[in-house]
């Protein structure tokens, strides 16, 4: 329409000036009326086009599908039962349920098909159920049948026997052993004491077995009120783990704080500045990987004993539906997983013992 208007206007104007002067003023009046009507009509049509376009743009924004989350690294807490009573534990023995072995395998296959590369088995204490046989069968399944690049375990180490390494060690990439102090009295205060057994001595024995059976050795430590002033530099260097994961004590409502909790971890909590001072004291330890509360809270994909993702965004563990019932893609939408923080904290690293090229 706008293309035709200049030509139409020129034609009208030319016809006006061809008339005698006496008729000029009479002709200008309808010309101006025509121009005004044309301008109003064009303005109305432009407004209608803009109104029609705005809902379409909004609709496009609303219909953009959310980015799907790939379960690259999954932490499967298949049991809540434990033989220790760590005061700050944030996955406590609220049930004794453990999935039947074949159901657990079915869930792990679903995760592999959805893109899982690393599985970490934890608890509770994963070696407690069926004396580690259940765990061993899952480890073997994930490595031998699913052919996952990385299979790891987090354990307090107290129930591991050399026979387990003999039967299943070849299928395990990383064993992470929890050790919060190299002072046995402090371990007892925290809740890692178990009669005459010495937690530190057992740690050294496990380090030797990991070397003998070609398993990458890792240490996890939770920094809390009772060990925040400790200097662990020499002991960690002597044990020489591939990674030393250092966590700031974290409160989770319903697990270690609040009305329904089985623990009261408030007395273990330390501030950010105290945690930073601990890290500064150990800055010479090259394998140290620090995780503050901010980095830790939403950067883990956690499956509970029913294979439900646990969402910690509100400071508690809200479960999704089980992946066994609705599939991984649907369940993971409710995981609260922060993939950016997962990458920022170094969640993806060289986690296969074949790629670590360790000097056994």
Q: Which residues are catalytic?
A: 82, 86, 89
E-only strand ranges, 228-269: 243-248
Coil/strand/helix, residue 342: helix
CA distance 199 to 84: 11
The structure tokens 């004590």 sit at 249
Short-list 322, 274, 288, 267, CA closest to 99: 322
Distances (CA, A) of 112 to 104, 118, 138, 147: 12, 9, 13, 9
Contact 270, 248 (CB under 8 A): yes
User: Which H or E run includes 50?
Assistant: helix 21-63
Bridge partners (DSSP) of residue 289 are 245
**Could you tell me which residues are beta bridge partners of residue 303?**
76, 309
Which secondary structure element, helix H or strand E, spans residue 309, and what is its range? strand 308-311
Q: In what order do the strands lie in the sheet with 118-122?
A: 288-291, 243-248, 216-223, 174-178, 150-155, 118-122, 73-77, 301-303, 308-311, 318-322
Rounded CA separation 236/264 (Å): 29
């Amino acid at each position: 329409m706008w293309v035709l208007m200049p030509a139409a206007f020129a034609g009208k104007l030319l016809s006006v000036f061809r008339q005698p002067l006496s008729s000029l003023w009479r002709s200008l009046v309808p010309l101006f009326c025509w121009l005004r009507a044309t301008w109003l009509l064009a303005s109305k049509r432009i407004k209608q086009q803009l109104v029609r376009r705005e809902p379409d743009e909004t609709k496009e924004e609303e219909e953009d599908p959310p980015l799907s989350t790939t379960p690259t690294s999954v932490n499967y807490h298949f049991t809540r039962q434990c033989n220790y009573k760590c005061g700050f534990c944030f996955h406590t023995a609220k049930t004794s349920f453990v999935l039947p072995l074949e159901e657990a395998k079915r869930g792990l296959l679903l995760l592999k098909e959805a893109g899982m590369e690393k599985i970490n088995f934890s608890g509770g204490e994963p070696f407690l159920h069926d004396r580690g046989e259940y765990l061993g069968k899952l480890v073997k399944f994930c490595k031998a049948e699913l052919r996952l690049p990385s299979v790891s375990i987090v354990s307090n180490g107290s129930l591991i026997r050399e026979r387990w390494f003999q039967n299943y060690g070849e299928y395990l990439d990383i064993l992470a052993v929890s050790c919060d102090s190299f002072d046995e009295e402090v371990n007892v205060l925290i809740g890692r004491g178990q009669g005459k057994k010495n937690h530190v001595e057992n740690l050294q024995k496990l380090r030797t077995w990991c070397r003998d059976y070609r398993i990458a050795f890792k240490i996890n430590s939770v920094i809390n009120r009772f060990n925040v002033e400790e200097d662990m530099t020499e002991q960690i260097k002597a044990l020489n783990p591939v990674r030393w994961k250092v966590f700031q004590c974290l409160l989770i409502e319903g697990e270690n704080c609040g009305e329904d909790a089985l623990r009261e971890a408030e007395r273990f909590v330390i501030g950010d500045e105290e945690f930073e001072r601990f890290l500064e004291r150990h800055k010479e330890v090259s394998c140290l990987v620090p995780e503050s509360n901010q980095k830790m809270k939403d950067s883990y994909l956690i499956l509970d004993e029913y294979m439900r993702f646990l969402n910690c965004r509100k400071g508690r563990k809200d479960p999704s539906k089980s992946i066994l019932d609705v599939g991984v893609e649907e369940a993971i939408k409710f995981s609260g997983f922060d993939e950016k923080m997962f990458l920022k904290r170094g969640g993806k690293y060289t986690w296969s013992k074949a790629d670590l090229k360790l000097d056994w």
